């Protein structure tokens, strides 16, 4: 079960204030249950939601953002059109805006991991039709929580930690620490989810920046294009940094034994082919071990060393040798 709110917002931003208040009150009814809000909000949320125009955040956007922060929802994964509303003037170029959205809370995203909002072509209408798809999937084993290091650089991170750490938890000190760390999982998962597919994000921003810079090359005195370039440059730099922080162990390029170079998505192909060849070979295996297989034995003093008591100093040394941004795995 989940709550679904359908929105059709008023045209004038002052009239929309009643809607924002109603959504805030509805959050109390929803509580910790999954909640999705979809429809026509009649307001852009971010600067990139307008195809052109002012680079300043309007009162309408600011009030919409305040409501989103208050009810703690965010855009779920989407595909299709970004701009969902189009102005169709008889002459000239009309404005494109994203004013239709599908927003979900953390509980909805965690419960319906495969959910996606599909924005289709608007054709003869001025709005894109939107379909919320929730594919049926088998029982998914809940993955262990893994903290993405790059989240500490997000402005929301300290606020999330502060809110959890200042909450009241009864019990001994160790229990309170463990409980608060556990309470951090859900909001940090939501923050990570909001970052989207980092690799796709970098690719999309790179393509947009390339397009804008080509337009600037043809129209170098266009101030609007310059502002757009500045905005996308900052966004691209941030996305690249996030991807770098989150994928330090990723293999981008690999060469096989034949000297063939594999890059990007083809890296996995090289690894699969290698192990298919390496592990897929048949060989003669004897079921009878050699007589001297277990002839070597540990010396008594080494045996004693292996079962001796572990000292506090050894434990401290092991713990302090762990990197400052590392933690134990699920197996301890």
- Choosing from 280, 298, 327, the residue where a domain stops is 280
Q: Considering the domain boundaries, does residue 114 fall inside one?
A: yes
What is the structure's pLDDT at 37? 97
The DSSP code sequence of 168-214 is ---S-HHHHHHHHHHHHHHHHHHHHHHT--HHHHHHHHHHHHHHHHH
CA distance 23 to 182: 28
What is the structure's pLDDT at 246? 61
The DSSP code sequence of 91-126 is SSPPPEE--EEEEEEHHHHHH-TT-EEEE---TTSS
The CATH number linked to 106 is: 3.60.10.10
Q: Considering the domain boundaries, does residue 305 fall inside one?
A: no
Q: Considering the domain boundaries, does residue 11 fall inside one?
A: yes
- Choosing from 87, 109, 142, the residue where a domain stops is 142
What are the tokens at 182?
Answer: 């556990």
- Choosing from 142, 175, 207, the residue where a domain stops is 142
Same-domain pairing of 127 and 7: yes
What are the tokens at 249?
Answer: 């162990």
Per-residue pLDDT tens over the stretch 164-198: 999 888 888 888 898 899 889 888 888 887 776 67
Same-domain pairing of 2 and 137: yes
Same-domain pairing of 2 and 138: yes
Domain count, the chain: 2
Same-domain pairing of 137 and 255: no
Domain extent for 128: 1-142
Q: Considering the domain boundaries, does residue 33 fall inside one?
A: yes
Strands 96-97 and 3-8: unpaired
What is the structure's pLDDT at 85? 92
Using 70 as the pLDDT threshold, list the residues of the chain that sit under it.
Answer: 53-55, 92, 137-143, 196-197, 244, 246-252, 264, 281-287, 289-291, 328-332
Q: Considering the domain boundaries, does residue 332 fall inside one?
A: no
What is the structure's pLDDT at 170? 87
């Amino acid at each position: 079960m989940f709550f679904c709110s359908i929105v059709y917002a008023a045209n004038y931003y002052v009239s929309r204030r009643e809607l924002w208040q109603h959504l805030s009150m509805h959050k109390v009814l929803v509580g910790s249950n999954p909640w999705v809000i979809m429809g026509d909000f009649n307001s852009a949320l971010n600067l990139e939601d307008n195809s052109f125009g002012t680079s300043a955040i309007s009162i309408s956007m600011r009030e919409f953002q305040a409501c989103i922060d208050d009810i703690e929802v965010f855009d779920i994964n989407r595909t299709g059109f970004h701009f969902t509303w189009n102005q169709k003037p008889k002459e000239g170029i009309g404005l494109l805006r994203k004013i239709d959205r599908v927003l979900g809370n953390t509980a909805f995203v965690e419960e319906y991991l495969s959910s996606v909002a599909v924005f289709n072509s608007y054709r003869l209408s001025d709005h894109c039709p939107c379909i919320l798809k929730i594919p049926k999937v088998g029982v998914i084993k809940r993955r262990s929580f893994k903290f993405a290091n790059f989240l500490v650089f997000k402005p929301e991170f300290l606020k999330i930690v502060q809110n959890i750490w200042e909450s009241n938890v009864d019990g001994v000190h160790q229990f309170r620490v463990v409980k608060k760390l556990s309470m951090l999982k859900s909001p940090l998962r939501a923050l990570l989810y909001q970052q989207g597919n980092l690799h796709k994000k970098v690719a999309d921003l790179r393509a947009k920046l390339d397009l804008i810079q080509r337009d600037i090359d043809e129209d170098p005195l266009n101030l609007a294009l310059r502002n757009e370039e500045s905005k996308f440059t900052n966004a691209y730099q941030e996305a690249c940094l996030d991807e770098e922080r989150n994928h330090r162990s990723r293999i981008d390029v690999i060469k096989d034994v034949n000297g063939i170079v594999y890059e990007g998505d083809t890296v996995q192909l090289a690894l699969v082919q290698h192990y298919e060849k390496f592990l897929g070979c048949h060989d003669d295996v004897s079921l009878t071990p050699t007589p001297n297989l277990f002839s070597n034995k540990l010396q008594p003093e080494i045996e004693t060393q292996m079962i001796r008591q572990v000292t506090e100093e050894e434990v401290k040394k092991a713990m302090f040798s762990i990197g400052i941004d590392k933690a134990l795995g699920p197996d301890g």
